[in-house]
């Protein structure tokens, strides 16, 4: 009977997570936070040898984000720039890696465009985010292609039966959002439906002759649920669709980007006391086209990626210290519905992986090996190896070696106006020394790393002067990330610092749009009725290319201050106010683009 309850509890954990993840009430440092993205198994975050950060739902509600990047402010080791407003093109640099070298997952599903090779994160509705797990450093031995800088996994919201929420937000640039969610079912069958609709007039994002506001709108609908067949077997699912448009300024082509994306993940889990198996069927669609500037829908170029993922994962637990994991994965990317005439429109990627995790009282160790075969490109064997030593019960130091790779995109290989089918993988190697533990009254995480990235794809002319992508680039990246958090009574303090030297190996120059130095401080307060925060973010100077003068320039450093306050009127009603960039620093993040100026947002929500 005891084993039956253990199995039922474990399966409920899996269902709630969407991908092996659960978090306890985070009211103090002794609470247990379980993560999955680091090693694709459930682990106490204090036992992971990778540098992992988790953004919980209470943090999301406190920050009142307008986009996913608002959640990444003062996450050490992460830098980002936006070409104008919240719905514009955004680049995220994890530990200095290129923005397309960061793997983005939503509920375990690899999402994004196979032509561009990355996910447009501005499409992700923040109202539907339950938590975010961020793993820094290469993770190819666990996740395959793209995970050179790291992995960002978004988990969508889930409500218990009878729980519900409605929220309304208004703010600067005539921005408004309505979101609603409801949970229903029973202990055996449980589902959640969430919906959000957001729109904004925006502002003129580019410094040019097109003097109009660039607005945006987004509709997002998700259904998430689980069915517990018995004490050992469970089905869970998530289906989500996003549709919207974003205006932008350009001299060529349309100036209104439309997208219609969706994904689903159906999973079966069988768990016994010492063995867990899961099979998942996943499909996603990333569809975009641009109109405007005399281009109508009929004549617009459309780019569509349809992706199928078939995954089998297993975990065998031999003792309290030792577990072995393994799995196979088959991914099919299809761009046949794209209007451009690509030489190849379908690609299969097959992989197999195995890992061993040892968690002892003093010594900890991780080993993961994965083999990937990408059709018509190459194959690669990736390794992650980590060894940890507990200096004390709450202090851990680890040394990690990890590898990453990125497969060339369909644009790199087969774009009709300059593709190169001879391209191979971009490759990386990383060594990291990590400390995390309790220091004084707070917790410290400090990592120092050294990375080399080779075979970077760059556009260069050949002997005949014809420009095409080639594997000719190399980058050397060194840095350090620090996070120190203190929780005292109703107050929390968080200090962050990052140093990132990301240099072109050929020139020795810092890679564009990446700041070497970043510092942050955040003060939070939670009382009986009031909560609030003050967030300070300092970003050092960063290089960029001025595309008007075709010269390299340095963008100024800046300090942004964000403020927020919430008032719990009663057990159901809550009022919130958020001020971004309170002192109107309006920092330019990308040359040639107007920055986001000071913003105000007011939210009223009812939760039952």
Spatial CA neighbour of 487 closest among 62, 27, 54: 27
Q: Per-residue pLDDT for 209 more than 90?
A: no
pLDDT in tens, 10-35: 444 444 444 433 333 333 344 578 99
Half-sphere exposure of 519 (CA within 13 A, CB side): 6
Sheet strands (E) in 512-594: 517-526, 530-539, 542-546, 551-555, 558-568, 573-580
CA–CA separation, 198 vs 177, rounded Å?
A: 4
Name the DSSP letter for residue 137. S
Contact 307, 331 (CB under 8 A): yes
Question: How confident is the model over 126-150, as a mean pLDDT?
Answer: 95
Q: Per-residue pLDDT for 230 more than 70?
A: yes
Q: Which residue has the tokens 């063995």?
A: 275
Give the range among 35-44, 378-387, 400-409, 509-518 with minimum mean pLDDT.
35-44
Neighbours of 535 (CB within 10 A): 22
Contact 113, 338 (CB under 8 A): no
Question: How confident is the model over 167-175, as a mean pLDDT?
Answer: 96
Q: Per-residue pLDDT for 440 more than 80?
A: yes
Mean pLDDT of the chain, nearest integer: 91
CATH class of the 2-607 domain in this structure? mainly beta
pLDDT at 31 (0 to 100): 57
Q: Per-residue pLDDT for 371 more than 90?
A: yes
Q: What percentage of the chain has pLDDT greater than the value 70? A: 95
pLDDT at 14 (0 to 100): 46
Question: How confident is the model over 312-339, as a mean pLDDT?
Answer: 96
Q: Per-residue pLDDT for 309 more than 70?
A: yes
CA–CA separation, 227 vs 579, rounded Å?
A: 42
Give the range among 102-106, 123-127, 283-287, 594-598 with minimum mean pLDDT.
123-127
pLDDT in tens, 599-608: 999 999 999 9
| DSSP one-letter string for 378-399 | EEEEEEEEEEEEEEETTEEEEE
CA–CA separation, 560 vs 127, rounded Å?
A: 24
Q: What percentage of the chain has pLDDT greater than the value 90? A: 82
Give the range among 1-5, 117-121, 397-401, 539-543 with minimum mean pLDDT.
1-5
Region at 337 (left for phi over 0; alpha for psi -120 to 50; beta for the rest) = alpha
Helix (H, G, I), strand (E, B) or coil at 22: strand
pLDDT at 85 (0 to 100): 85
Contact 180, 195 (CB under 8 A): yes
pLDDT at 550 (0 to 100): 81
Contact 101, 511 (CB under 8 A): no
pLDDT in tens, 61-89: 999 999 999 999 999 999 999 998 888 88
pTM of the model: 0.93
Pairing of strands 164-171, 175-185: antiparallel
pLDDT at 446 (0 to 100): 97
pLDDT at 121 (0 to 100): 84
Q: Residue 478, class by beta-carbon neighbours within 10 Å (0-12 exposed, 13-18 middle, 19+ buried)?
A: middle
Q: Per-residue pLDDT for 194 more than 90?
A: yes
Q: Per-residue pLDDT for 50 more than 50?
A: yes
CA–CA separation, 477 vs 402, rounded Å?
A: 14
């Amino acid at each position: 009977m005891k084993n039956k309850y253990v199995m039922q509890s474990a399966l409920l954990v899996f269902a709630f997570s969407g991908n092996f993840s659960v978090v306890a009430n985070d009211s103090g440092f002794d609470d247990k936070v379980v993560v999955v993205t680091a090693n694709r198994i459930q682990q106490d975050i204090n036992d992971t040898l990778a540098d992992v950060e988790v953004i919980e739902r209470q943090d999301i509600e406190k920050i009142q984000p307008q986009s996913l990047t608002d959640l990444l402010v003062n996450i050490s080791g992460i830098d980002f720039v936006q070409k104008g407003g919240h719905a514009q093109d955004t680049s995220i640099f994890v530990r200095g890696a290129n923005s397309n070298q960061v793997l983005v997952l939503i509920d375990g599903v690899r999402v994004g465009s196979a032509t561009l090779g990355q996910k447009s994160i501005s499409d992700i509705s923040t109202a539907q985010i339950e938590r975010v797990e961020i793993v820094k450093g290469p993770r190819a031995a666990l996740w395959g292609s793209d995970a050179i800088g790291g992995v960002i996994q978004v988990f969508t919201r889930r409500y218990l039966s009878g729980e519900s929420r409605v929220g309304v937000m208004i703010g600067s640039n005539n921005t408004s959002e309505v979101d609603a969610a409801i949970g229903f079912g029973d202990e055996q069958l449980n589902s959640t439906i969430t919906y959000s609709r957001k729109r904004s007039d925006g502002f003129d994002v580019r410094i040019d002759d097109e003097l109009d506001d660039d607005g945006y709108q987004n509709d997002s609908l998700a259904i998430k649920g689980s069915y517990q067949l018995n004490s050992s077997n469970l089905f869970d699912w998530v289906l989500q669709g996003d549709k919207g448009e974003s205006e932008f300024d350009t001299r060529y082509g349309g100036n209104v980007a439309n997208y219609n994306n969706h994904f689903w993940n159906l999973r079966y889990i069988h768990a016994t006391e010492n063995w867990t198996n899961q099979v998942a069927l996943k499909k996603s669609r990333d569809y975009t086209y641009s109109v405007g500037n005399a281009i109508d829908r009929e004549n617009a170029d459309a780019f569509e990626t349809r992706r199928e993922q078939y995954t089998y994962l297993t975990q065998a637990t031999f003792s309290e210290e030792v577990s072995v994991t393994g799995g196979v994965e088959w991914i099919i990317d299809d761009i046949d519905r794209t209007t451009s005439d690509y030489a190849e429109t379908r690609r299969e990627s097959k992989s197999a992986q195995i890992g061993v995790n040892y968690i002892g009282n003093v010594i900890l160790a991780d080993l993961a090996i994965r083999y990937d075969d990408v059709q018509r490109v190459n194959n690669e064997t990736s390794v992650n190896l980590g060894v940890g030593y507990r200096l004390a019960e709450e202090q851990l130091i680890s040394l990690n070696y990890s590898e990453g790779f990125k497969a060339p995109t369909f644009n790199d290989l087969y774009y009709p106006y300059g593709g190169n089918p001879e391209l191979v993988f971009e490759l990386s190697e990383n060594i990291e020394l990590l400390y995390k533990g309790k220091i004084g009254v707070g917790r410290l995480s400090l990592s120092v790393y050294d990375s080399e990235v080779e075979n970077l794809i760059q556009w260069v002319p050949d002997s005949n002067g014809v420009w095409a992508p080639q594997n000719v680039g190399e980058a050397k990246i060194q840095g350090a990330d620090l996070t120190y958090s203190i929780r005292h009574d109703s107050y929390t303090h968080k200090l962050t610092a990052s140093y990132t030297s990301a240099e072109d190996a050929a020139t020795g120059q810092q890679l564009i749009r990446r700041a070497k130095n970043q510092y942050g401080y955040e003060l939070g307060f939670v009382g009986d009725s009031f909560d609030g925060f003050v967030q300070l973010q300092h970003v050092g100077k960063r290089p960029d290319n001025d595309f008007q003068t075709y010269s390299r320039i340095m963008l100024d450093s800046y300090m942004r201050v964000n403020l927020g306050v919430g008032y719990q009127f009663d057990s159901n009603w809550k009022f919130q106010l958020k001020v971004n960039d309170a002192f109107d620093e309006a920092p330019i993040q990308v040359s040639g683009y107007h920055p986001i100026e000071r913003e105000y947002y007011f939210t009223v929500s009812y939760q039952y």
